[in-house]
Copies of this chain bind each other. A is one copy, B any other.
Amino acid sequence: MTDYEQGQAVRMLHYLGPEGTFTHQAALGAASSLSALAEGNIELKAEPDAISILNAVQERGDWGVIAWENNIEGYVVPNLDALIDAADVAAFARVGVDVSFDVFVRPGEAIDDCTTITAHPHGLAQCRRFAADHGLKAVPAASNGAGCRDLKPGQVALGPSICGELYGLTRVATAVEDYPGAHTDFLVLAPRGDMPALLERLRERTDEFESIVTLIPLSTGPGVLANLLDVLRDAGLNMTSFISRPIKGRGGTYSFIATMDAAPWQDRFRSALTEVAEHGDWVKTLAVYPRQERPNPPVYAWSLPNGGVRLDPDAIAENDANATPAGGWQNEATTRKELLW
């Protein structure tokens, strides 16, 4: 773990390769924001899959970074499953990356001389307008990094901004995705035994923490989840995300993954999770990290999806027999129909 030539410790940070992907960009961001915690230089290493990253953390005590959640695609479920099942890995930081595509050509070339455009099929699908505007024919690549690395004469590549420096390419446009605003959050992983010391250092920076917890009720049937959540509510724990996942190889049984505004050193967190565990349900804390700023506004009718129903509770209180729907969306008859057909 020590770089003897330099006389400095080296902290390895493993990420899903190849180089030049959004995951690589997230790893560089994590290395930068967490350098003070590393007690030495952070060195990045590309791995072929998430399991290799978790193994490096568990077996060699290194750090890892895995994609966790995308605001368009939702959770990266295979990574979620792998972290739930990992014996000795937890996350202490969460870093975000904007999924934004820059356009590159080989040095000395101009985009007007190019005829094809290359990227991972997802990248090509997200930048259709740019390709159409420039009359470029799509050529799929195994990854955005590979497309940039293997860029041919007369070809344009789409990729994260780091690809420019990484492969010595010329950037000719930035942020050419059809729909801007996509971003992916990543978790930074360490061995569970290192968590207390890491979190102590992080608590010097902030008081606001978020935790991700997995819960498996040891029974099934109606009310199992409601009973579990009653415990969290009664402890005053605010959840910001909640999903169920089938347990692999055990059809009909589920784990629940909750993200909460709380940390293990807070009484309400300790008492709630202890109560769940003492009830006989299975509990595991997957992550504790400083939380990012986030708004918490009320929900206005204009931000609701199309269709659906909502009955105004005030109107109901006044005249229960003739409840009027909120926002004038529909009358009572329509409401019942939308809800129940």
Q: Would A249 and B303 count as touching, CB distance under 8 A?
A: yes
A9 to chain B, nearest CB (A): 23
Q: Name the residue among A72, A244, A295, A305 with the largest chain B CB count within 10 angstroms.
A: A305
Give Cα A332–Cα B73 distance, bound, in whole angstroms: 40
Q: Dominant SS at the A interface?
A: mixed
Q: Is the CB of A278 within 8 A of B323?
A: yes
Contacts of A253 in B (CB 8 A): 297-299, 303
Count how many chain A residues have C-beta atoms less than 8 Å from C-beta atoms of the other chain. 102
A323–chain B nearest beta-carbon distance, Å? 7
* Pair B192/A311 contact, Cβ less than 8 Å: no
Complex interface: chain B residues within 8 A of A296 (CB): 220-221, 252
Q: Which residue of chain B has the shortest Cβ distance to A326 in the bound complex? A: B280
Tell me whether A206 is interfacial, beta carbon within 8 Å. Answer: no
- For residue A135, CB closer than 8 A to chain B, the reply is no
- Among residues of B, the one whose C-beta sits closest to the C-beta of A296 is B252
- A74 and B75 contact, CB distance less than 8 A: yes
Is the pair A306, B341 in contact by a Cβ cutoff of 8 Å? no
Min Cβ gap A141→B in Å is 6
Is A340's CB within 8 Å of the partner chain B? yes
Further contacts, 20 of them, CB under 8 A, given A225-B239, A226-B229: A72-B78, A74-B80, A74-B243, A84-B305, A87-B306, A121-B143, A140-B142, A216-B299, A220-B299, A226-B230, A226-B232, A227-B233, A229-B229, A240-B254, A247-B299, A277-B335, A278-B311, A280-B310, A282-B299, A282-B310
Jot down 25 A-B pairs with beta carbons below 8 A, ordered by A: A72-B78, A74-B75, A86-B307, A140-B140, A192-B341, A196-B341, A199-B341, A219-B298, A219-B299, A220-B297, A222-B239, A226-B232, A240-B252, A242-B256, A252-B294, A253-B297, A264-B340, A269-B340, A277-B309, A278-B311, A280-B310, A282-B299, A283-B309, A284-B308, A284-B309
